[in-house]
Chains A and B, each alone.
Chain A
Amino acid sequence: MVKLTRRAALGTIGAATAMAAMPAFAAERRIRHFWWGNPERDRRTFEVIDLYKAHHPGIEVSGETIGWGDYWTKMATQTAGGNMADLVQMDYRFLFEYVRRGALQSLDEHIGNGLDLSNLDAGPVEGGMVDGKLYALNIGSNTQVMPYNIRLLDEAGVDADVINWTREEFGAACEQITSKTGARGSDDYSLTTENMEAWIRQEGYEFYDAEGNVAAKAEDVAAFWQFWADLRNAGIVADKNKTVMVDASMSDWGIVTGDSAISSCWSNQLVAVQSLTQDTIGAAMLPHKAGGVFGQYIKPSQFLALTRDSTDVEAAVAYMNDWVNDPEATAVLGLERGIPASSVVREALAPNLNEAEKLSVEFFAAVQDKVSPLPLPAPKGAGEVRDAFARTGTEVVLGSMDIMEAAERFVDDAQSIVDRAR
Chain B
Amino acid sequence: MKRFLRRNAAGYVFLTPWFLGFFLLALGPILASLYLSFTRYDMIGAPRWDGLGNYEYMFTRDRRFWKALTVTFSYVALAVPARLIMALGVAMLLDKGLRSISFYRAIFYLPSLLGASIAIAILWRQLFELDGVVNDVLALFGIQGAAWISNPDTSLYTLVVLAMWQFGSPMLIFLAGLRGIPKDLYEAAEIDGTSKRRQFFRITMPLLAPVIFFNLVLQTIEAFKTFSSAFIISDGTGAPADSLLFYTVFLFNEAFKFFRMGYASALAWVLLLIIGFFTAITFLTSKYWVHYENERD
Contacts and interface: CB of A to CB of B under 8 A. Distances in A.
Q: Do A and B come from one complex?
A: yes
Interface residues of A, number: 31
Contact of A246 (B44, B61, B240): B240
A398 B43 contact: no
Contact of A241 (B44, B125, B150, B233): B150
B119 to A, nearest CB: 16
A12 interface: no
A391 B242 contact: yes
Nearest to B237: A387
A395 interface: yes
B291 interface: no
B241 A103 contact: no
Interface string B252-263: 000011110000
Contacts of B236: 69
B241 A246 contact: no
Contacts of A392: 241
A246 B43 contact: no
Given A241-B130, A241-B147, A398-B152, A246 B258 contact: no
Given A103-B44, A244-B147, A245-B130, A394 B256 contact: no
Interface stretch (A75-83, A146-154, A197-205, A361-369): A75-83
A351 B57 CA distance: 59
Contacts of B151: 241, 244, 398
Contacts of A387: 237
Given A245-B130, A387-B237, A400-B152, A101 B45 contact: yes
B235 interface: yes
Given A241-B150, A245-B147, A398-B151, A80 B239 contact: no
Nearest to B41: A80
A244 B237 contact: no
B129 interface: yes
Nearest to A243: B150
Contact of A394 (B240, B257, B259): B240
Interface string A242-278: 1011110000000000000000000000000000000
A244 B240 contact: yes
Nearest to B239: A246
A36 B27 CA distance: 34
Interface in B38-72: 42-45, 57, 61
Best-surrounded residue of A246, A392, A398 (most CB of chain B within 10 A): A246
B149 A246 contact: yes
B239 A390 contact: yes
15 contacts: A72-B257, A73-B257, A76-B43, A80-B43, A80-B44, A98-B44, A101-B45, A241-B150, A246-B240, A390-B239, A392-B241, A394-B239, A394-B241, A400-B241, A416-B61
A168 interface: no
A76 B44 contact: yes
Interface residues of B, number: 28
Contacts, number: 70
Nearest to A247: B235
B234 interface: yes
A71 to B, nearest CB: 11
A73 B234 contact: no
A394 B149 CA distance: 13
A383 interface: yes
Nearest to B243: A394
Contacts of B152: 394-395, 398, 400
A384 interface: yes
A391 B257 contact: no
Contacts of A245: 129-130, 147, 150
Interface string A78-100: 01100000000000000001100
Interface string B209-237: 00000000000000000000000011111
A55 to B, nearest CB: 34
Closest 7 CB pairs between A and B?
A247-B235, A241-B147, A80-B43, A394-B241, A73-B256, A76-B43, A101-B44
Interface string A377-402: 00001011001001110110010100
Contacts of B61: 416
Nearest to B57: A420
Interface in B123-156: 125, 129-130, 146-147, 149-152
Contacts of A103: 44
Contacts of A420: 57
Interface in B159-181: none
B116 to A, nearest CB: 19
A101 to B, nearest CB: 5
B237 to A, nearest CB: 6
A80 B42 CA distance: 9
Contact of A242 (B42, B130, B256): B130
Contacts of A73: 256-257
A390 B234 CA distance: 13
A329 B45 CA distance: 36
B44 A79 contact: yes
Contacts of B241: 391-392, 394-395, 398, 400
Contacts of B130: 241-242, 245
Interface in B256-296: 256-259
Nearest to A401: B241
A420 to B, nearest CB: 8
Contacts of A394: 152, 239-241
A422 to B, nearest CB: 11
